[in-house]
Structure 1
Amino acid sequence: MTQFIPLILIVLVFYFLIVRPQQKRQRDLQALISNLKTGDRIITTGGIIGTVTQMRETSLLIRSADKSIIEIARSAVAGIQGEEEEKK
């Protein structure tokens, strides 16, 4: 039984230092994506910055330049550009 105590401690430390913070970030990102609205300025996981022009069930249309409209998956949203600047 005493052989398993260090293993159990390692698993607990791993859970609290790695898994829980990742789950919180994932929940926060899902909340951010579900609260997006037309006009929000976003940044994608690929680094594209644009303004949401239309929202669909599983995708968004963003305007990244004057006349450039791009359709992206909702899962490609990394964050809202204004919020990232506020955190710095």
Structure 2
Amino acid sequence: MEDFSKVLPEMRTVEVPAAKYAVFTTPPVDLTQGGYHGEANTVDFPQSIRNTWKYIFEVWLPQSGYAFDESKIDFEFYDERCHFRPDAVMEIWIPIK
């Protein structure tokens, strides 16, 4: 991001250092049908995010041959794909070495 003019005063900007990242996208959730404690057949978005974090550290990382790079930062990336839509997703970026 190069233009921070639209960042609200109550928000904080952080520069993410260059690193090798594994990027995971959460399973899509239909936020137009509740999404958060919605209908019985709808997985809520926060639970989808928690499940993805769990998968990363309990399944993917141990089997990947990579290690978590504690000298870098991990982060969650929310963009227009996670707004009120039938296929909402977000990304989790994990620094690896």
**Structure with greater strand percent:** 1
**Structure with greater helix percent:** 1
State the TM-score, normalized to the length of structure 1. Answer: 0.28
Which structure would you say has the larger RCO, counting Cα contacts within 8 Å and 6 or more residues apart? Answer: 2
State the TM-score, normalized to the length of structure 2. Answer: 0.26
Please say which structure displays the higher CA radius of gyration.
Answer: 1
